[in-house]
């Protein structure tokens, strides 16, 4: 997962989602392969991962609503890292080595089983600080990927083989290191997590120092975009369920309507802003691919947390939580602001012209944070700010568009 400009193998697998072979050599696909798109298996993989995201979001809601926000956010960050990192590693591996033969499919299904095991352990991790089941699920996913890298090593030679073996060894060593999270005293676990997270993040950097894997820019951008859509969809689903439950138990439509409208505006604006610029164009020539890929931890985590915050706001509106209106509002505005700012940092800023366009998202993020103190109208106010961000950005882009062909890369977000 390094720069596209680094050297990469030119060989290509004949299969691209067709499942035409029982067993094929796992050789790298072409970086410039035409019509490279997400496969049905990858889409299934994403949907199953969102089950774990939903569980993490649900527990975050309970933690914040019970006035244990600090502990809940810490547990959420750790659990979400496991989900996101396993998803991301598979995504970049598949972009380079998807053979879509029988062994590849079976090992991918094992990884799906692993995330479902992880999802089953999320509540224990939050409520009892017991990460055993989460670790087992994570271990299943990671060792399955080790098997894929070993298979790639067996089908290649030279620098490409060394890269595959470095991945296999690095991932395996990290799984041994994660055992410390299970046996460390509870107060030291956040520090153990930080050390091991850095170790995990270092594996691709070390593995690809001499040769980059041949990931496909369009494919990677599509995979990240699809997962963003799925997470935003989960946010809408979670908030809708909370809204329905509140309406069934309480006749508080006047209190809930502003939250519903504001929440929808935030999610709609998040989608618009994320997809307003062609991420693949930046990836195709970007030596900061690690930063782009790693930075999506904040994008995915904040997008899912918006849904949790909306649920907390609903519960607070109907007096079912133990937090103030300001805290409930912050549960929405903080992740919404983080989403806007991170999208700007990762790729939107590279497509801006002039100070006004560059400042639109950062200023909007600050404005969303300021909405925290708007009381019962905080979520609606944040939604209106997000919608205004889209409108202002589109207006500025239109005015600054010198040629019709520039329109595709001079937009909001």
* pLDDT tens, N- to C-terminus, the chain (413 residues): 444 434 444 444 444 444 446 777 888 787 777 878 889 999 999 999 999 999 999 999 999 999 999 999 999 999 999 999 999 999 999 999 988 889 999 999 999 999 999 999 999 999 998 999 999 999 999 999 999 999 999 988 888 899 999 999 999 999 999 999 899 888 888 899 999 999 999 999 899 887 888 888 889 989 999 999 999 998 998 888 888 887 877 767 778 889 999 999 999 999 999 998 777 767 754 466 788 889 999 999 999 999 999 999 999 988 888 899 999 999 999 999 999 999 999 887 877 778 888 888 999 999 999 999 999 999 999 999 999 999 998 888 777 555 544 444 444 44
Q: Are residues 123 and 256 in the same domain?
A: no
Establish if 3 belongs to a structural domain: no
- The pTM (predicted TM-score) of the whole model is 0.87
| Alpha helices in 217-317, H assignment, sequence order | 217-249, 253-274, 279-283, 289-317
Number of domains making up the chain: 2
Q: Are residues 160 and 238 in the same domain?
A: no
Establish if 123 belongs to a structural domain: yes
Which of residues 207, 234, 258 is at a domain's end?
207
Establish if 392 belongs to a structural domain: yes
Establish if 12 belongs to a structural domain: no
Are the C-beta atoms of 90 and 108 separated by less than 8 Å? yes
Query: Which helix (DSSP H) or strand (DSSP E) does residue 18 occupy?
Result: none
Q: Are residues 129 and 97 in the same domain?
A: yes
**Cα gap 366→378, rounded to integer Å:** 14
Establish if 21 belongs to a structural domain: no
Which of residues 207, 241, 273 is at a domain's end?
207
Question: Range of 255's domain?
Answer: 217-409
Q: Which is nearest to 145 in space by CA: 207, 225, 62, 218?
A: 207
Q: Are residues 284 and 198 in the same domain?
A: no
Measured on CA atoms in the order 52, 56, 58, 59, is the torsion positive or negative? positive
Q: Are residues 246 and 154 in the same domain?
A: no
Q: Are residues 106 and 134 in the same domain?
A: yes
Q: Are residues 73 and 108 in the same domain?
A: yes
Establish if 25 belongs to a structural domain: no
Measured on CA atoms in the order 253, 259, 261, 264, is the torsion positive or negative? negative
Q: Are residues 357 and 294 in the same domain?
A: yes
Q: Are residues 202 and 267 in the same domain?
A: no
Establish if 1 belongs to a structural domain: no
Which of residues 177, 207, 237 is at a domain's end?
207
Q: Are residues 345 and 258 in the same domain?
A: yes
Q: Are residues 221 and 186 in the same domain?
A: no
CATH number of residue 221's parent domain: 1.20.1410
Q: Are residues 96 and 139 in the same domain?
A: yes
**Cα gap 68→386, rounded to integer Å:** 28
Establish if 381 belongs to a structural domain: yes
**Cα gap 320→332, rounded to integer Å:** 17
């Amino acid at each position: 997962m390094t720069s596209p400009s680094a050297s990469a193998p030119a060989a290509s697998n004949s299969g691209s989602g067709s499942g035409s072979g029982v067993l094929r050599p796992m050789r790298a696909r072409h970086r410039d392969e035409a019509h490279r798109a997400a496969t049905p298996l990858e889409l299934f993989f994403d949907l199953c991962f969102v089950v774990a995201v939903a569980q993490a979001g649900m527990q975050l809601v309970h933690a914040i609503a019970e006035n244990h926000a600090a502990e809940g956010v810490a547990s959420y960050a750790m659990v979400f890292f496991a989900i996101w990192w396993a998803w991301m590693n598979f995504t970049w591996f598949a972009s380079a080595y998807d053979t879509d033969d029988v062994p590849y499919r079976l090992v991918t299904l094992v990884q799906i089983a692993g995330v479902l095991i992880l999802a089953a352990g999320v509540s224990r991790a939050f409520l009892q600080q017991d990460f055993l089941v989460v670790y087992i699920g994570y271990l299943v996913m990671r060792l399955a990927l080790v098997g894929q890298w070993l298979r790639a090593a067996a089908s290649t030679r030279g620098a490409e083989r060394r890269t595959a073996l470095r991945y296999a060894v690095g991932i395996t060593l990290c799984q041994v290191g994660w055992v410390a999270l299970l046996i460390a005293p509870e107060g030291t676990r956040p520090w153990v997590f930080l050390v091991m997270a850095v170790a995990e993040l270092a594996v691709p950097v070390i593995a690809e120092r001499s040769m980059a894997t041949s990931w496909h820019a369009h494919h990677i951008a599509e995979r990240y975009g699809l997962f963003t859509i799925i997470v935003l969809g989960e946010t809408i689903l979670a908030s809708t369920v909370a809204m329905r439950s509140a309406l069934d138990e309480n006749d508080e439509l006047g209190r809930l309507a502003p939250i519903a409208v504001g929440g929808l505006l935030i999610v709609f604006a998040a989608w618009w802003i994320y997809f307003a610029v062609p991420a693949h164009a930046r990836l195709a020539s970007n030596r900061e691919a690690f930063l782009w890929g790693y930075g999506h931890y904040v994008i995915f985590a904040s997008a899912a947390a918006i849904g949790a915050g909306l649920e907390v706001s609903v519960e607070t509106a109907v007096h079912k939580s133990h937090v103030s209106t300001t805290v409930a509002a912050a549960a929405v505005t903080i992740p919404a602001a983080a989403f806007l700012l991170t999208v700007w940092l990762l790729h939107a800023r590279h497509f801006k012209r002039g100070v006004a366009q560059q400042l639109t998202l950062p200023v909007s993020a600050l404005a969303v944070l300021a909405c925290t103190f708007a009381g019962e109208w905080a979520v609606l106010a944040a939604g209106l700010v997000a919608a205004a961000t889209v409108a202002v950005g589109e207006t500025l882009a239109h005015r600054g568009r010198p040629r019709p062909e520039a329109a595709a890369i001079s937009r909001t977000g």
